Amino acid sequence: MTRSTKIFKYVGKRLLQGVPIILAIVIINFFLLNLAEGDAVDVLAGEAGSATPEYMAQLRQKFGLDQPLPIQLMVYLKNVLSLDLGYSFRHDMPVNELIFDRFAATGLLMTSTIILAVGFGVLLGLLAAMRLNTWKDAVITVFALITYATPLFWVGLMMIVVFSLKLGWFPTSGMTNVAAFYEGWDYVKDVSRHLVLPTITLSLFYLALYTRMMRASMLEQYGQDYVVTARAKGLTERRITYVHVLRNALLPVVTMAGVQVGALIGGSVIVESVFAWPGLGMLAFESLFARDLNLLLGIFLLSSMLVVAVNLIVDIIYCFLDPRIEVN
């Protein structure tokens, strides 16, 4: 069997394994969320201010909230399997529509964040390791330490203060300029201008992490025997660093980046709130307080699928980076 058919089979198997995992996540989430006091009806009634118990019971019946939990779960699972995530009472919209709209925004933010964090993290770590114990190394290390230790929301606020309010380079919030109605290329430019600050804010922490990891990983690899062999073969230091050490040093960083995609979704809640970025994080945050369980479950489902998919992608990348990993 060739390597590519092996990988193809492997992907199929992993996707198959993903199904029970995601189902389990849905079920656990369902019970977890129902453990919380109150439901959507309580919130609606509270906001309306003058709901009678009869009206509330009527609403519950309409939403299916009067059924026992196992039945609710069964109904929900049946709907999920037919790709229907239910209806958000809060937003008066099907959850599917609501989520997929927001998902694009979060996806964009996450992708740009990962590229920025991994790309620059690797670059800075490499530079620090190559210039070990010089001022460049010191500057990079201190920068990594500070950004690692600074809370996300504070960085976000300071970014707005400096780059939006004082310098006026970037917009303060949102994803598009609502008043402008851009189309085509102008729309892309507008979104990218809005994307800059949230991306930098969200990526700083991970950037610091990958910088430190890459630096440590490079230093560890420099100490390996094969580096001595490479020197004994009369290779240039440039070749040793960029060809021999770099590829080996990347492996742990890629692993880490894959694991942290899940955490990124969590981090995006804060950043999306600060920058009013219309993504999943903000939606999840709102729906939690509105007890909009259908919507929340839908978001959880989508993010768990995302994590499973990203892990698979990382594993495949890893196979290509490291020939020692066997696909089976």
SS3 233: coil
- Determine if 323 is a binding residue for other proteins (CB under 8 A): yes
Instruction: Candidates 119-127, 150-158, 230-238, 299-307: pick the segment binding other proteins (CB under 8 A).
Output: 230-238
- Determine if 133 is a binding residue for other proteins (CB under 8 A): no
DSSP conformation letters of 176-196? S-TTT---HHHHHHHHHHHHH
Please name the residue that has the structure tokens 């990079």. 140
28: Cβ–Cβ under 8 A, 6 or more apart, which residues?
A: none
Cα distance between residue 137 and residue 133, in whole Å: 6
Considering only residues 81, 83, 225, 289, which one is a binding residue for other proteins as defined by CB under 8 A?
225
Instruction: Candidates 85-93, 144-152, 273-281, 317-325: pick the segment binding other proteins (CB under 8 A).
Output: 317-325
- Determine if 233 is a binding residue for other proteins (CB under 8 A): yes
Nearer to other proteins, 92 or 225 (CB): 225
User: Measured from the CB of residue 222, what is the shortest distance to other proteins in angstroms?
Assistant: 11
Considering only residues 161, 180, 228, 259, which one is a binding residue for other proteins as defined by CB under 8 A?
228
Cα torsion 65, 69, 72, 77: sign: positive
206: Cβ–Cβ under 8 A, 6 or more apart, which residues?
A: 113, 114, 117, 118, 121, 257, 260, 264
Cα distance between residue 283 and residue 295, in whole Å: 9
Cα distance between residue 235 and residue 249, in whole Å: 19
Nearer to other proteins, 176 or 224 (CB): 224
Beta-bridge mates of residue 94? 87
Amino acid at 250: L
Instruction: Candidates 67-75, 142-150, 153-161, 224-232: pick the segment binding other proteins (CB under 8 A).
Output: 224-232
Q: Among 32, 117, 102, which residue's Cα sits nearest to residue 285?
A: 102
User: Measured from the CB of residue 326, what is the shortest distance to other proteins in angstroms?
Assistant: 7
User: Measured from the CB of residue 227, what is the shortest distance to other proteins in angstroms?
Assistant: 9
User: Measured from the CB of residue 237, what is the shortest distance to other proteins in angstroms?
Assistant: 8
Nearer to other proteins, 100 or 226 (CB): 226
- Determine if 326 is a binding residue for other proteins (CB under 8 A): yes
User: Measured from the CB of residue 119, what is the shortest distance to other proteins in angstroms?
Assistant: 20
**Nearest-10 Cα torsion for 201, 110, 294, 70:** -110
User: Measured from the CB of residue 215, what is the shortest distance to other proteins in angstroms?
Assistant: 20
- Determine if 242 is a binding residue for other proteins (CB under 8 A): no
The kind and range of the H/E element at 107 are: helix 95-130
SS3 197: helix
- Determine if 235 is a binding residue for other proteins (CB under 8 A): yes
Instruction: Candidates 50-58, 152-160, 282-290, 319-327: pick the segment binding other proteins (CB under 8 A).
Output: 319-327
Nearer to other proteins, 290 or 327 (CB): 327
- Determine if 236 is a binding residue for other proteins (CB under 8 A): yes
Burial class (CB in 10 A: 0-12, 13-18, 19+), 202: buried
Nearer to other proteins, 21 or 74 (CB): 21
- Determine if 244 is a binding residue for other proteins (CB under 8 A): yes
Residues that bind other proteins (CB under 8 A): 13, 16-17, 224-226, 228-236, 239, 243-244, 247-248, 321-324, 326, 328
